[in-house]
Amino acid sequence: MNNNPPPEHPLLRGERVLLRRWRAGDREPFAAINADPVAMRHFPAPLSTADSDALADRIQSHFDQHGFGPWALDIPGVAEFAGFVGLLRVSFEAHFTPAVEIGWRLAPALWGQGYAGEAAACALRYGFLALGLPEIVSFTVPANQRSLAVMQRLGMHYDIREDFLHPRLPPEHPLRLHRLYRIGREEWLERQAPR
């Protein structure tokens, strides 16, 4: 983990939030989120501290390899580490890959205040304007209404014909079916134009 991370890009700042590179001290609050059954309700299981640290290592490698990733979410005056929001290359094969995904995981105490949405809007903006991505996708299980609502508020769109079975989960796993949302760069730019 990087103790001297580079300064944040101006596009990664919102009114209340800041997306920044991870620090060593983020691992402890990250493990607490990953151990919380509420935060992990739509995942196969909560994570042990060792598995949470291994995930933090994979996030670090993603930044090292691609220069972007799931950033640490800082909400100044509220929480130095509220969870993550960011962009990552989809690491499995599916009908929509290769693709860059937007994803989020916040401490449940901070839900319902618009922080995830505000941070996700910054990550999308960075993806389209700084990285020049042509499209960004997102996916989750149909029961994860909070996550689906974030995708919808960002202007991402859904087509039932793109539902897919997550290849990392075994056949018959109850969480296998996923909904895919997409937004293209042109479409996103159009939404930013004053009406």
Ligand X SMILES: CC(C)(COP(=O)(O)OP(=O)(O)OC[C@H]1O[C@@H](n2cnc3c(N)ncnc32)[C@H](O)[C@@H]1OP(=O)(O)O)[C@@H](O)C(=O)NCCC(=O)NCCS
Q: For binding to ligand X (CB under 6 A), which residues are involved?
A: 39, 42, 103-106, 111-117, 140, 144, 146-147, 150
Give the nearer residue to ligand X in terms of CB position, either 58 or 186. 58
- The residue type found at 30 is F
For the bound state, the minimum distance from the C-beta of residue 115 to ligand X, rounded and expressed in Å, comes to 5
Give the nearer residue to ligand X in terms of CB position, either 111 or 164. 111
Q: In 3D, which of 147, 169, 156 has the Cα closest to residue 94?
A: 169
For the bound state, the minimum distance from the C-beta of residue 6 to ligand X, rounded and expressed in Å, comes to 25
Give the nearer residue to ligand X in terms of CB position, either 52 or 144. 144
For the bound state, the minimum distance from the C-beta of residue 46 to ligand X, rounded and expressed in Å, comes to 11
Q: In 3D, which of 44, 4, 49, 45 has the Cα closest to residue 23?
A: 4
For the bound state, the minimum distance from the C-beta of residue 99 to ligand X, rounded and expressed in Å, comes to 14
Neighbours of 153 (CB within 10 A): 13
Query: What HEC string does 97-159 produce?
Result: CCCEEEEEEECHHHCCCCHHHHHHHHHHHHHHHHCCCCEEEEEECCCCHHHHHHHHHCCCEEC
Give the nearer residue to ligand X in terms of CB position, either 85 or 133. 85
Neighbours of 184 (CB within 10 A): 15
d(C-alpha 47, C-alpha 65), whole Å = 24
For the bound state, the minimum distance from the C-beta of residue 117 to ligand X, rounded and expressed in Å, comes to 3
Cβ atoms 163, 153 nearer than 8 A = no
Give the nearer residue to ligand X in terms of CB position, either 47 or 116. 116
